[in-house]
Copies of this chain bind each other. A is one copy, B any other.
Amino acid sequence: MQTATTEQAPTELKLSGNRKAVYMLMQQQQRALSAYEIIDLLRPQIGRIIHPMLVYRCLDFLLEKQLVVKLVSVNKFVALPNDLTEPGQCLICEICQAVTFSASSNPLQQQKRKIAATGFKLNQQPVEFHGICASCQKDHTE
């Protein structure tokens, strides 16, 4: 099993074999994936049985390094877009499962400041909004 320096991760973070495979897969897919989807997608690449634990461990690491983010409402994981240093919010379509990230807008930052003022210490994790995207609204008006 080779150890390779990753070309994709910021600040030259070294990723071991498995972790790199998982991360690159997530970057390629460009969508939110459940752990089991990752397992299924990885299987052809690795040519060996993939235990869930393998993937969860990799994800734990990638989460810790903030290379990926977990969408806690849908139990999916997604590689952070490279141009987005702070995923303040995301919109999750219930129909097509598309996920759209964006940085915190002013009202959301205001909201977070209000919450902080109550003494509640917020985590750094995107605020998740659920609904139906414009495309699916069109598709489902028939």
Chain A residues within CB distance 8 Å of chain B: 72-74, 89, 91, 93-94, 105, 107-108, 110-112, 114-115, 118-123, 125, 127-134, 137
Main secondary structure of the interface of A (DSSP, over half): mixed
Complex Cα distance, B111 from A118, in Å, reads: 20
Contact check, A123 vs B107: say whether CB atoms are below 8 A apart. Answer: no
Chain B residues lying within 8 Å of A119, measured Cβ to Cβ, are 133-134, 137
Chain B residues lying within 8 Å of A129, measured Cβ to Cβ, are 112, 115, 120, 122, 127
Contact of A123 among B111, B130, B134 (CB under 8 A): B130
Contact check, A121 vs B132: say whether CB atoms are below 8 A apart. Answer: yes
Contact A105 to B94, CB < 8 A, known contacts A72-B73, A119-B133, A134-B120: no
Complex Cα distance, B115 from A92, in Å, reads: 12
Complex Cα distance, B111 from A103, in Å, reads: 12
